[in-house]
Amino acid sequence: QKVAFMVALGLATPEHVEGKGSQKARLSFVLRRTTANPLYSGAYYEPECERMIILYIHSNTSYTPSLPDDPTWRAEAEECCCVCKRSGLLLTCDACSGLYHLECLEPPLKSTPRGVWFCQECQQQGFKKDDAMLWPETLAVVHAYIAQKTTKEEERRRLLKRSAELRCQCEATEGRVSTVGLLITKSVESRSDLVAKEDQSRTSLERLRTLLALVQDSRSAAAATT
């Protein structure tokens, strides 16, 4: 059914699909570099922007697919260079998605640049690697990790600072508590001394009263005898 459906659509001829030894359709692969990637700052991520392979059926030749070793290239079947308007191994700009040959760039490049790359026009417009733009997935993960680590580090420093402040406040409070404790102890001791002195004064007063009573009694007795 699948073969009949392909024949009905004109994607293959009956002669092409007959027999075990029939030749297979030649497939050319177009390796498309991801041009929409997430930023840790919150850029929208489209799942369909993953690395894709598009297949084109050409002629009845042997099936010999080949892919470039460098993932930053695409073996173009239809698209062409923005400078010379020819196809080939093309480098993709991460900002405008323009295609360029290495030799067509100003200045020409000898090897494929790693990481994020921008064409000369985008560089003149002010595009930089740290701008809010489309990044590769790996860089997005790295930046998200760095942002999370920075946030945790800031939170740790804030907690350490707050802990130091609380420690200082605790030490100051303990010092005040010790001072108040000493004052209370001195007050208790002073009160005890005052109570003891009061008892002594009361005893002395009782003795004086007794002595005065004896003196008065002796005077009264002497006056009565005279």
Q: Any idea what the CATH number is for the domain that residue 127 is in?
A: 3.30.40.10
Residue 20: predicted pLDDT = 38
Instruction: Report yes or no on 48 lying in a domain.
Output: no
Q: How far apart are CA 185 and CA 175, in angstroms?
A: 15
Q: Residue 178: phi, psi to the nearest 5?
A: -65, -45
- Number of compact structural domains in the chain: 1
Mean pLDDT of the region 131-157: 74
Instruction: Report yes or no on 152 lying in a domain.
Output: no
Domain that holds residue 84: 79-132
Give burial (CB, 10 Å; 0-12/13-18/19+) of 148: exposed
Instruction: Report yes or no on 161 lying in a domain.
Output: no
Closest CA to 96 of 36, 31, 30: 36
Instruction: Report yes or no on 191 lying in a domain.
Output: no
Buried b / exposed e along 182-200 (16+ C-beta atoms within 10 A): eeeeeeeeeeeeeeeeeee
Instruction: Report yes or no on 16 lying in a domain.
Output: no
Mean pLDDT of the region 201-214: 90
Q: Residue 33: phi, psi to the nearest 5?
A: -80, 145
Instruction: Report yes or no on 90 lying in a domain.
Output: yes
pLDDT at residue 219 greater than cutoff 90: no
Q: How far apart are CA 186 and CA 127, in angstroms?
A: 76
Q: Are 101 and 89 in contact (CB under 8 A)?
A: yes
